[in-house]
Structure 1
Amino acid sequence: MIVTEDIIFLQLISPLGNGDELTRIEFEHSYHTMPDVKTVDLIERIVYIASPVRYKIMVNLMLILWLD
């Protein structure tokens, strides 16, 4: 059974942001609403999102190899 508090909580789910302070339950709900984000950690109630650096490195590497 869903109570009013659960409905209000589900409506207030926002995307994860680096440095957000969340409980584990809030983190999991927000994480499941963002399928495009792969590397997100919750350490001592603080959200850490890794920057997508690997893709840029691969593109630069492919460009360098192609130009050689």
Structure 2
Amino acid sequence: MSKPEYANLPVWPEADTPCVGFCSTNLGDDICMGCGRTLDEVDGWLFKSDEEKEAIWNRIRQAGVGYRWES
């Protein structure tokens, strides 16, 4: 039996973006209550380097702000 095509796709340990689909920066918040990023971080995410994205991930993990971190 052959492997399905998707079996050869890369596996990421976590999503590329911290977005959870609720962006309160659209409502005027400085820090998104969904993911914990600033408006500048949200707006420029696609253009950030992997190193910049990792630094943002590390900051929001440490801060623990946003619905992403609520249990």
Task: Name the structure with the higher strand share.
Answer: 1
- Larger-gyration structure (1/2): 1
The TM-score normalised by the length of structure 1 is 0.26
The TM-score normalised by the length of structure 2 is 0.26
